[in-house]
């Protein structure tokens, strides 16, 4: 029987994200105002200044939307695919891995992963009490630390594909 489970997790916006959005909006407003005022003083350049100012505001809007992140976890017969969705419009595959290749699978604890060196760290979700972390070896990248927020349905579907030593860590 084929197993197919998918879950979308919206990343919570951090305070730094909100500050960067506000800063980009402020810079865009001030910059477009100055561009428009300078073009008004240059005579017939006002329409061009207006278009450039509108372009600056559009660029700031695109920057603000790029902070809206979602992650999609897809489990298909033991193969996990992780996609990053930006602004609900563009999707990029982060990686794919077989659950049988997991070396560590536990609830996320910052102290457990702090002193260990990984070639790549992938945080596909929120660092809260629902987070789990996985360590596996990728053929190209090397040792990968993957932190994500699977729900109970995803964990139940994943359990049969985990190595026996790790399936006991899963309280579902």
Least confident span in 78-82, 112-116, 140-144, 146-150: 112-116
Q: What would the two tokens of residue 86 be? A: 């930006």
pLDDT of 95 strictly over 90 = no
99 pairs with which residues across the strands? Answer: none
Model confidence at 5, pLDDT cuts 50, 70, 90, reads: very high
Angstrom distance (rounded) from CA 107 to CA 92 = 26
Percent share of the chain, pLDDT over 70: 97
pLDDT at 56: 93
Please write the tens of the pLDDT for every residue from 51-60: 999 999 999 9
Pairing between β-strand 90-98 and β-strand 79-86 as defined by DSSP bridges: antiparallel
The three-point CA angle 156-148-135 to 5° equals 90
Please write the tens of the pLDDT for every residue from 125-139: 888 888 999 999 888
Q: What would the two tokens of residue 120 be? A: 């790549």
Phi, psi of 22 (to 5 degrees): -65, -40
The three-point CA angle 123-129-133 to 5° equals 40
Instruction: Compute the average pLDDT of residues 37-62.
Output: 87
pLDDT at 135: 92
């Amino acid at each position: 029987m084929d197993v197919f489970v998918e879950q979308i997790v919206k990343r919570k916006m951090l305070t730094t994200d909100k500050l960067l959005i506000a800063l980009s909006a402020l810079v865009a407003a001030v910059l477009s105002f100055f561009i428009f005022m300078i073009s008004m003083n240059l005579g017939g350049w006002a329409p061009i200044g207006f278009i450039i100012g509108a372009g600056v505001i559009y660029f700031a809007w695109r920057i603000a939307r790029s902070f809206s992140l979602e992650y999609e976890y897809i489990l298909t017969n033991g193969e996990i695919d992780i996609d990053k969705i930006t602004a609900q419009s563009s999707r990029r595959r982060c990686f794919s891995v077989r659950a049988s290749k997991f070396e560590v699978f536990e609830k996320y604890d910052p102290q457990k992963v702090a002193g260990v060196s990984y070639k790549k760290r992938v945080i596909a979700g929120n660092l809260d009490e629902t987070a789990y972390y996985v360590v596996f070896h990728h053929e190209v990248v090397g040792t990968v630390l993957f932190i994500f927020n699977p729900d109970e349905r995803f964990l139940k579907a994943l359990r049969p594909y985990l190595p026996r030593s790790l399936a006991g860590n899963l309280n579902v």
